[in-house]
């Protein structure tokens, strides 16, 4: 088994603005695992708010014992590296390699089919008029995710809802709200038919959500990194956002998915931005998800080739030359 990686960069079509940052360009690692004449591939970006960088992920991969790689399997991999970007790259590359070694590809390994899914499309944080204009321009995409902070929050939401009465709306606050703002907005969010509110409070301030009956569903993002934390946040959130970069790959993403399905809990599969190569394994974890947020390639000026087929929000299963077959 030969492990390699290289840095790639993707430019955004427009600034991607959240409550915490403005992104014009991202750097990622492309990870490959080669064995027996076949090569598994993956893309990983890591989790910047947890201090991960391209250098730290590359250092983690370079520190692996070559003997451990010789007989690498999915269970051992979870012990080799902690949750995060380095494990994500290695894990997803291993899934791709094993899929290529299997006559039935990724679907044979999983035991369930990979079907087309509809993704949310993200509207960057902006003033109310600009967000409303972006919402209108996003037609015919009818599932929208709004990046909102604690400034003009209701005004932005009302403007988007007026512009797009047909759309499903999800809000992502990226932990920027106060508890008082959250409580004051509850009835308005319900009135404006918000389907989901993602990470309203900072990670160190979400204990106030324990047992709270809020007017709309609350979803954990930054508050949940991996499957090991599910029980800790179960009483605070109605749903969870699974991101492969956070949890460390498809293996742990599938564990979170199974936990949610077994308990009737809703889940989203999201992304940290990235190309079709990053979204392809996430599409696997998103089978059966209540919300799919895999619009990263739509924000990029370029993509890998071949890329995922994404039209009017519908994402088709990855082509054989991309990943998983």
Q: Are residues 91 and 123 in the same domain?
A: no
Query: What's the structural domain count of the chain?
Result: 2
Does 323 reside within a domain? Answer: no
Q: Are residues 246 and 139 in the same domain?
A: yes
Q: Are residues 16 and 78 in the same domain?
A: yes
Q: Are residues 227 and 169 in the same domain?
A: yes
Indicate the pLDDT class of residue 57, thresholds 50, 70 and 90: very high
Look at 17-21, 70-74, 97-101, 288-292 and tell me which has the smallest mean pLDDT. 70-74
Q: 241: which residues sit within 8 A by CB, 6+ positions away?
A: 198, 199, 219, 220, 221, 224, 267, 268, 269, 270, 293
Catalytic residue among 100, 145, 147, 246: 147
Q: What is the pLDDT of residue 156?
A: 98
Residue-wise pLDDT for 84-124, tens only, equals 999 999 999 999 999 999 999 999 999 999 999 999 999 99
Q: What is the pLDDT of residue 66?
A: 85
Catalytic residue among 13, 115, 145, 243: 243
Tell me the residue range of the domain where 177 lies.
Answer: 117-315
Mean pLDDT of 38-42: 97
Beta strand 218-220 pairing with 239-242:
parallel
Alpha-carbon gap, residue 134 to 126, rounded angstroms: 10
Indicate the pLDDT class of residue 70, thresholds 50, 70 and 90: confident
Does 325 reside within a domain? Answer: no
Cα distances from 305 to residues 272, 275, 276, 308, in angstroms, run 20, 10, 9, 9
Mean pLDDT of 17-33: 97
Does 107 reside within a domain? Answer: no
Q: Are residues 168 and 308 in the same domain?
A: yes
Q: Are residues 216 and 153 in the same domain?
A: yes
CATH number at residue 49: 3.30.390.10
Q: Are residues 280 and 185 in the same domain?
A: yes
Does 143 reside within a domain? Answer: yes
Q: Are residues 88 and 135 in the same domain?
A: no
Pick from 150, 205, 201, 149: nearest CA to 175:
201
Q: Is 243 among the catalytic positions? A: yes
What proportion of the chain, given as a percentage, has pLDDT over 70?
Answer: 100
């Amino acid at each position: 088994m030969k492990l390699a990686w290289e840095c790639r960069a993707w430019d955004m079509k427009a600034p991607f603005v959240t409550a915490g940052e403005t992104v014009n360009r991202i750097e990622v690692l492309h990870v490959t695992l080669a064995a027996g004449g076949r090569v598994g591939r993956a893309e990983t970006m890591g989790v910047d708010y947890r201090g991960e960088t391209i250098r730290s992920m590359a250092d983690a991969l370079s520190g692996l014992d070559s003997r451990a790689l010789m007989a690498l399997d999915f269970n051992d991999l979870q012990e080799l590296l902690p949750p995060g970007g380095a494990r994500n790259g290695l894990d997803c590359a291993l899934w791709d390699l094993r899929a290529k070694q299997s006559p039935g590809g990724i679907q044979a390994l999983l035991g369930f089919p990979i079907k087309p899914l509809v993704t949310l499309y993200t509207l960057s944080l902006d003033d109310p008029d600009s967000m409303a204009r972006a919402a209108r321009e996003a037609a015919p995409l009818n599932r929208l995710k709004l990046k909102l902070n604690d400034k003009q929050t209701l005004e932005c939401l009302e403007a988007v809802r007026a512009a797009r009465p047909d759309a499903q709306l999800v809000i992502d606050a990226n932990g920027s709200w106060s508890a008082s703002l959250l409580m004051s907005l509850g009835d308005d969010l319900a009135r404006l038919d918000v389907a989901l509110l993602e990470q309203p409070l900072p990670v160190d301030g979400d204990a106030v959500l324990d047992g709270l009956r809020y007017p709309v569903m609350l979803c954990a993002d930054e508050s949940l990194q991996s499957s090991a934390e599910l029980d800790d946040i179960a009483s605070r959130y109605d749903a969870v956002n699974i991101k492969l970069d956070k949890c460390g790959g498809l293996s742990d993403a599938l564990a979170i998915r199974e936990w949610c399905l077994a308990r009737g809990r809703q889940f989203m599969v999201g992304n940290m931005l990235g190309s079709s190569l990053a979204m392809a394994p996430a599409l696997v974890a998103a089978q059966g998800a209540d919300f799919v947020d895999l619009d990263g390639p739509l924000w990029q000026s370029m993509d890998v080739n071949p890329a995922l087929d994404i039209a009017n929000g519908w994402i088709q299963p990855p082509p054989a030359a991309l990943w998983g077959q």
